[in-house]
Each structure stands twice: as C-alpha cells, then as structure tokens.
Chain A
C-alpha cells in the first residue's frame, strides 16, 4: 500500500513579487520502474511502476497537467514556469499506474 512519498516543490528564485514569472520545480522520490528490469535480489522482473498523471494547480485552479510514461528518470524532476498573481498555494497532485495518489503543496508569499 502507498506509503507517503517524499516530494518537494521549489520556487525559483526564492524572492519574488506579484507579476514575476517564476520556475516551479517539483521533485518526487519514485522508482519509475519500466517493467523490464530484473530485481537483483529475487531475479524476477519488477512490474512497471511509474507516475502517470501530474496536475499543478494554484488555489485549486489547475494551470499545467502532465501525462508521463516510464521513460522519465528515477526520482523525477519536472519544471514549469508560472506567473505569480498573488498570495495562495501551489499544489501538485500526482498518481501512478499502481493507483497511488499523493499531493504536495507550497505556500506562495510574494513580497512587495
């Protein structure tokens, strides 16, 4: 069953104002198994296990959605740009092909 995955949202640069366009980076610790690798301990082929849907939203309004396949690296990193419109919360919801659902959010506090 799904244990909470470690994930992180970074906003770059760290200091930003309303109207600035910032990079929103999302990193998650996930194996991203392709379904072709062998488990070194048991010698059996590991079933495919990868993130397939990601939604970036600001205060509940999605601004970027992604479909992802197994060709993305282990512990994936995704980066998009976003224009800051005010105070709020950026939330990233993600699901994987084995039905795990997780989400991570970060407060947006523009200065000035």
Chain B
C-alpha cells in the first residue's frame, strides 16, 4: 500500500471512531434510563390523566386505611371507604389507588356502579420506599376528591 493512502485511511478510521464512541455511550445511557418499568408514570402525570385538568379537592369523606409503618413493602394492605350515597342519581363512579414514588404511580382503577351499594375497595399493593398512598375518587357529578396517607416502608417491595 502506498504511504499516502495508508495515512488517509488511518485518518478516516480515527475520525469515524471519534464520531461513534460518544454516540454509543449515549445509547447505553439511554438504555439505562429506559430500563424502568414498561408503563412508568409519575404521580402528577397519573393525576392529570385521571382528572383531565379538573379540580381536585382534599376531602374527609374518604376513609383511607393503610398501615403507618409497613415492614414489608411488597404487601401493603390498602382499604378505601367513601362516605357518599350510591344511587342512580349520585354515586361514586371510580376509586383510583395511586402512589407517589413507585415507577408507575397507578396501582388500580376501580369502576363502581350503584349495584355495589357502598363505595368500598380493598387490595394489597407494592411500595418501593417510604411514600404516600393516595385514593382519588371520581364522583358522578364530574368532580374529584382525594385523600392521602404516608406509609413508612422499611424494606422496599419492588425487587
């Protein structure tokens, strides 16, 4: 090979390498960032998705029962009772259970009907660390109310 061609090819190779390396690093970082859950959502995004920008009030009509301290974050019992009539005219249409610090802020959406007679829902959720559990309740007149309680988690439950 001629000396000139050799040097030219060397330059080309280094130039390509210089371009490629930073992009590959970025790609890896992007991969790391994307290594979260499949449907991650922050708490604010979740609230926006549910209420669609409508007014959201704190209310003492919702009785949210969660343990103050959860030893095991993988199993945290959550119970919601809403003191609101369940008739054809006015009823609780949905109870949403949200968390503030998990990857995905939404735990469960429960659509209720007057056949339920009482607005009640209980389940068990996973909490990754100490955070707040929020019950967001949709009423039939289109308004939303919420209540939240913080839970201390000693061992996280999200693997």
| B-binding residues in A (CB < 8 A) | 21, 23, 32, 34-38, 48, 58, 61-74, 76-83, 85
Contact = CB atoms under 8 A, between A and B. Distances in A.
A67 B35 CA distance: 24
Given A71-B102, A80-B120, 13 more contacts: A36-B103, A37-B159, A38-B159, A65-B111, A69-B104, A72-B125, A72-B126, A73-B126, A79-B122, A80-B110, A81-B120, A82-B115, A82-B117
A79 B108 contact: no
A79 B37 contact: no
B124 interface: yes
Q: Which of A37, A68, A71 has the most CB of B within 10 A?
A: A71
A83 B37 contact: no
B36 A80 contact: no
Contacts, number: 107
Interface residues of B, number: 35
20 contacts: A21-B118, A36-B158, A37-B159, A63-B116, A66-B110, A69-B104, A71-B104, A71-B107, A71-B127, A72-B125, A73-B124, A78-B121, A78-B123, A79-B122, A80-B116, A81-B117, A81-B118, A81-B120, A82-B116, A82-B117
A48 to B, nearest CB: 5
Contacts of B108: 66-69, 71-72, 78
